[in-house]
């Protein structure tokens, strides 16, 4: 079976609903364990431009925000489902998600 490592950057206050959604869908399960993920505190930076509807910050101003980088392993064949679920649960207009192929 092939896997991706998912990295997603989430505002600190919104981590729990995304973790709950991933776990309930069975995406962060490893064998007989669920809630299998790691988190790191990071500083996110962005500047909303014309046309943006920012969840945090104001247009044309650089924003620095405490975010959590959530990491977990997901089955490669379920990548599209995971991406759709994160987009649905994430507060950002354009959530940053990295899907990194893992060696077997």
Confidence of residue 104 (pLDDT cuts 50, 70, 90): confident
- 1 within domain boundaries: no
- 31 within domain boundaries: yes
- 96 within domain boundaries: yes
- 87 within domain boundaries: yes
Q: What is the CATH number of the domain that holds 47?
A: 3.30.70.120
Cα distance between residue 49 and residue 31, in whole Å = 44
Average pLDDT of span 14-20? 96
Cα distance between residue 100 and residue 35, in whole Å = 20
Model pLDDT for residues 35-93, shown as the tens digit of each residue: 999 999 999 999 999 999 999 999 999 999 999 999 999 999 999 999 999 999 999 99
- 30 within domain boundaries: yes
Cα distance between residue 79 and residue 68, in whole Å = 21
Q: Tell me the whole-structure pTM to 2 decimals.
A: 0.91
Show the domain range for 36: 6-101
Cα distance between residue 81 and residue 50, in whole Å = 30
Number of domains the chain is built from: 1
- 32 within domain boundaries: yes
- 28 within domain boundaries: yes
pLDDT for the residue numbered 1: 87
* Residue 91, token pair as written in the block: 């507060």
Residue 2: CB atoms within 10 A of its CB come to 11
């Amino acid at each position: 079976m092939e896997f991706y490592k998912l990295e997603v950057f989430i505002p600190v206050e919104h981590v729990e609903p995304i973790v709950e959604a991933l776990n309930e869908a069975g995406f962060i399960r490893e064998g007989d364990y669920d809630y299998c993920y790691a988190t790191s505190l990071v500083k996110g930076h962005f500047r909303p431009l014309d046309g943006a509807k920012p969840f945090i910050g104001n247009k044309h101003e650089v924003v620095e925000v405490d975010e959590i980088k959530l990491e977990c392993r997901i089955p490669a064949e379920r990548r599209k489902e995971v991406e759709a679920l994160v987009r649905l649960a994430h507060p950002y207009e354009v959530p940053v998600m990295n899907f990194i192929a893992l060696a077997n």
